[in-house]
A = this chain, B = another copy of it.
């Protein structure tokens, strides 16, 4: 948690190295920042070439001056290490710092966040500049947080990485025999006789060993973590008292954030929902954003996170980059706060004049004006945040969790079968989260590694891959009185994607009291329904054919040759209950299943009005309840009237008193 500034952090990425030649622009920026209520900016993200224009020639004075001019004006700095974008000279002199792509070809200098994580020379060069930065600013009161590199991501297929991968495999499996067994290489004559024979999954290489595909992605996470730690070690040495973070990217699936977050003091991330797209209602887009927030929250229970980046206006890199409609920017910022963020930060402060991201929204546009719609909304949010100060540092307490696990996603994405490469794992997880949200149930989004014991209800959509620890954890959770719900594709494989023998859901068969005999895949034009007490809920994609083995049937298939067989079941196990939904449902179906479960559990539940999202942050003896109305009509909820496209925030004291905060 970040203590300074007093209230919420408000500001964003500031890249003044673009404007060093333009006289007066930095003074102008500070004036505008104050106008906007900004109290903190992120500096240095892309400054390497400005800090070290020629190899070994460092110039930190300009940065120092900006940091302190800002500080003198009441604006703190989040200081980034510059490794997110390397200078040209580095790439040209040390081509081994460039990544090798999946096709085996080393890339040319380009873009950003694309260095080889295992490159010794890269670490050396980064080490030098980070050391200098940390030495110089490590105890500077103007700096309140270290921002390690930027938006980690991507893979490298170079020989150094390939060698490191083999070493990593050796550690993981010990012997080649063990690896052969877990990767099931005996089929198709693929047995390895030495670790040296194993290559990364090049584009023109092996694609049929599931364990290889999965382990490569695990290795990439390990490699990134290993690299990130090398930067953090330096920071800790020279700046032991300042917290470190790195900015995640929501549901980015290239890395397992559940592992990567480990050495961080503060979780932060960048949120870029596709607001206003034409394929879903606005509250679905909002729900996708809060799904991400719920995930960030999950990494550090009870501790606020930071919204490190969001756009004050529009993005530039999506197919269609729509303006945020009036008020939406304020709603989006407050949604982050409602979900547990202690900051609202923008990318970026002043719009780039050319090339990279020149049409990505910014607080200050090319026109430089402070009377734009965007600037005025930013300034308005600055005021609002100031008025909500007391909420800072409070926590979110959810009793419900949805399991969304990046490694499960990898396993499913690599899977060849049923609906090939089209199993929609993320979409299913989001759908169940959204269904909970519709009932106003606050849920954390957790990984399979997380502790479940604090929750009373856990929903695990498509829990395809489980290991012994997870199986045991779920078993204990239910046995001890928890309610656990799983859907189609649960319990097929162990942690290396070896199928459970003896039937699915594998080790969890007795917990659920069912057996999955066959897994049917539907074509887009195929129709079936889940029948719950005579009402029908459409099914798409996947239908599992169940045999009851102790469970009670709560719903059945409506048609096809398995009409009338169980599709929704519940099993009492220990003090708890385990629900199973054997097919892919739509939103209505998921909501119906949830209400059926709560009815069964004798908990009263009524849905929020459509378009309403509700979140609660809790301090000592006080709850802050946030209501967001994403619909175009006025809504009444919990005795509060919420206008369309607006937010209402209520303070509820332990003594029962209720007051309107905003």
Chain A interface residues (CB < 8 Å from chain B): 15, 17-18, 20-21, 46-50, 53-54, 82, 85-89, 92, 101, 104-105, 107-112, 181-193, 196-197, 199, 202, 204-211, 276-279, 313-314, 316-323, 325-326, 351-360, 365-369, 372-374, 415-420, 422, 493, 496-504, 515, 517-526, 545, 561
Distance between A474 CB and nearest chain B CB, rounded to angstroms? 20
Cβ contact within 8 Å between A366 and B500: yes
Pick the contact of A354 from B204, B367, B496 — CB < 8 Å? B496
Pick the contact of A326 from B190, B316, B526, B561 — CB < 8 Å? B561
Cβ contact within 8 Å between B193 and A110: no
Instruction: Provide the bound-state CA to CA distance between A318 and B365, in Å.
Output: 44
Instruction: Provide the bound-state CA to CA distance between A197 and B91, in Å.
Output: 9
Cβ contact within 8 Å between B88 and A193: yes
Q: Which residue of chain B has the shortest Cβ distance to A55 in the bound complex? A: B193
Q: Which residue of chain B has the shortest Cβ distance to A208 in the bound complex? A: B356
Instruction: Provide the bound-state CA to CA distance between A321 and B541, in Å.
Output: 10
Cβ contact within 8 Å between A197 and B368: no
Cβ contact within 8 Å between A205 and B86: no
Pick the contact of A355 from B110, B187, B351, B522 — CB < 8 Å? B187
Cβ contact within 8 Å between A204 and B101: yes
Q: Which residue of chain B has the shortest Cβ distance to A17 in the bound complex? A: B186
Cβ contact within 8 Å between B368 and A317: no
Cβ contact within 8 Å between B367 and A503: yes
Cβ contact within 8 Å between A366 and B499: yes
Q: Can you list 21 residue pairs at the A/B interface with Cβ under 8 Å?
A: A18-B186, A46-B188, A108-B205, A109-B206, A110-B208, A112-B188, A209-B355, A316-B416, A316-B418, A319-B419, A319-B422, A320-B522, A321-B419, A323-B518, A359-B519, A366-B499, A366-B500, A367-B501, A368-B501, A369-B503, A372-B517
17 further A-B contacts with Cβ under 8 Å, apart from A18-B187, A88-B192, A320-B521, are: A92-B196, A104-B105, A109-B199, A109-B205, A111-B188, A184-B355, A187-B352, A208-B356, A211-B355, A314-B521, A316-B418, A317-B420, A320-B418, A321-B418, A354-B493, A358-B416, A368-B502
Q: Which residue of chain B has the shortest Cβ distance to A99 in the bound complex? A: B204
Cβ contact within 8 Å between B325 and A50: no
Q: Which residues of B contact A323 (CB under 8 A)?
A: 518-521
Distance between A177 CB and nearest chain B CB, rounded to angstroms? 9
Q: Which residues of B contact A197 (CB under 8 A)?
A: 88-89, 92, 109
Instruction: Provide the bound-state CA to CA distance between A478 and B278, in Å.
Output: 41
Q: Which residues of B contact A105 (CB under 8 A)?
A: 104, 204
Instruction: Provide the bound-state CA to CA distance between A489 and B191, in Å.
Output: 50
Q: Which residues of B contact A112 (CB under 8 A)?
A: 188-189
Distance between A559 CB and nearest chain B CB, rounded to angstroms? 12
With A325-B561, A561-B325 in contact, do A190 and B496 touch (Cβ < 8 Å)?
Answer: no
Q: Which residue of chain B has the shortest Cβ distance to A107 in the bound complex? A: B204
Cβ contact within 8 Å between B183 and A88: no
With A208-B110, A372-B517 in contact, do A193 and B355 touch (Cβ < 8 Å)?
Answer: no
Cβ contact within 8 Å between A322 and B497: no
Distance between A154 CB and nearest chain B CB, rounded to angstroms? 13
Cβ contact within 8 Å between B502 and A110: no
Q: Which residues of B contact A192 (CB under 8 A)?
A: 88
Instruction: Provide the bound-state CA to CA distance between A472 and B6, in Å.
Output: 53
Cβ contact within 8 Å between A183 and B354: yes
Cβ contact within 8 Å between A417 and B359: yes
Cβ contact within 8 Å between B319 and A359: no
Q: Which residues of B contact A89 (CB under 8 A)?
A: 193, 197
Q: Which residue of chain B has the shortest Cβ distance to A54 in the bound complex? A: B193
Q: Which residues of B contact A416 (CB under 8 A)?
A: 316-317, 357-359
Distance between A158 CB and nearest chain B CB, rounded to angstroms? 13
Pick the contact of A518 from B196, B209, B357, B372 — CB < 8 Å? B372
Pick the contact of A420 from B207, B316, B522 — CB < 8 Å? B316
Q: Which residues of B contact A189 (CB under 8 A)?
A: 46-50, 82, 85-87, 112
Q: Which residues of B contact A108 (CB under 8 A)?
A: 104, 199, 202, 204-206
Q: Which residues of B contact A21 (CB under 8 A)?
A: 181
Instruction: Provide the bound-state CA to CA distance between A422 and B318, in Å.
Output: 11
Q: Which residues of B contact A109 (CB under 8 A)?
A: 197, 199, 205-206
Q: Which residues of B contact A515 (CB under 8 A)?
A: 367
Cβ contact within 8 Å between A187 and B357: yes
Pick the contact of A111 from B206, B314, B420, B496 — CB < 8 Å? B206
Q: Which residue of chain B has the shortest Cβ distance to A276 in the bound complex? A: B523
Q: Which residues of B contact A182 (CB under 8 A)?
A: 354
Q: Which residues of B contact A210 (CB under 8 A)?
A: 354-355, 358
Chain B CB within 10 A, most for which of A82, A186, A278: A186
Instruction: Provide the bound-state CA to CA distance between A208 and B85, in Å.
Output: 13
Cβ contact within 8 Å between A355 and B185: yes
Pick the contact of A367 from B205, B357, B502 — CB < 8 Å? B502
- Which 3 A-B pairs have CB atoms at the shortest separation, nearest pair first? A359-B417, A184-B354, A108-B205
With A359-B416, A524-B278 in contact, do A499 and B211 touch (Cβ < 8 Å)?
Answer: no
Q: Which residues of B contact A359 (CB under 8 A)?
A: 415-418, 519
Cβ contact within 8 Å between B517 and A373: yes
Chain B CB within 10 A, most for which of A188, A313, A356: A188
Q: Which residue of chain B has the shortest Cβ distance to A493 in the bound complex? A: B354
With A316-B420, A359-B415 in contact, do A191 and B366 touch (Cβ < 8 Å)?
Answer: no
Pick the contact of A187 from B15, B54, B183, B278 — CB < 8 Å? B15
Q: Which residues of B contact A196 (CB under 8 A)?
A: 92
Instruction: Provide the bound-state CA to CA distance between A104 and B104, in Å.
Output: 13
